[in-house]
Amino acid sequence: MLGTIVNTVSVIAGSLLGLLLKKGLPERISDIITKGLGLCVLYIGISGSLKGSNQLIAILSMVAGGIIGQALDLDGRLSRLGAALGDKLKKNGNGGGSVAEGFAAASLLFCVGSMTVVGSLQSGLTGSNEMLYTKSVLDFISSIVLASALGIGVLLSAAFVFAFQGAITLLARWAAPLLSDYAVAEMTCVGSLLIIALGLNMLGISKLKAMNLLPAIFVPLILCIFM
């Protein structure tokens, strides 16, 4: 779990630095940073989506994951949690901001991708944390930029990073047979489609409820066995 702990701390540290920077930024500067970041998020999503090789798996995963996420109302639950946290922060004079937006964007960006899955597996199976250490450096830099644009929700995403990567690390021996290179590539493809949705939202082009599609990331684990 050391790699996951280091990664979580890097997100917290980067987010705190980003929040300090945000306080000194005029709204018009913060807005252009958000738009520029949205373009970068689109680039990351498009690049990752090309790693998949089976379009049918992506389609079925999005359909099944969307049904599950909509039934569980993940976006609504997150929005209500974000609103509650935002209200508390405002009462304390810290400014609430769009807590849910920052949390959702950061959680998906930090946890979707082959480095997360493979790095956590290596940590659980062999005790090697090199990939997660490398990811920690990248997440530290990303969290500074994200927090300066999206606020405190990015800091709160550290809890999701810890839970998500920690779960994969602890369940590595059980999950390893399912996580072939083929499955990881398809999971990365589906997750990257969600990142594209986040990019479109950040640019104000759409208002997609990306969190309701989150379960789609795990559907390829099952589909890749049969397809």
Residues 6+ apart with CB under 8 A from 210: 75, 104, 108, 194, 197, 198, 201
pLDDT at 83: 67
Residues 6+ apart with CB under 8 A from 161: 4, 7, 8, 11, 107, 110, 111, 139
The rounded distance, in Å, linking the Cα atoms of 117 and 106 is 16
pLDDT at 64: 95
pLDDT at residue 149 tops 70 = yes
Q: Lowest mean pLDDT: which of 10-24, 30-44, 100-114? A: 100-114
Q: Are the C-beta atoms of 168 and 183 separated by less than 8 Å?
A: no
Average pLDDT for the chain: 83
Q: Between 41 and 93, name the one with better pLDDT.
A: 41
Mean pLDDT score, 44-62: 89
Structural domain range at position 219: 2-226
Sign of the CA dihedral 188, 164, 74, 72?
positive
Mean pLDDT score, 48-60: 90
When divided into structural domains, the chain yields a total of 1
The rounded distance, in Å, linking the Cα atoms of 27 and 24 is 10
The rounded distance, in Å, linking the Cα atoms of 60 and 78 is 24
pLDDT tens for each residue of 70-118: 999 888 887 777 667 666 665 555 544 567 778 878 887 888 766 787 7
> 0.85 cut: is pTM over it?
no
pLDDT at residue 57 tops 90 = yes
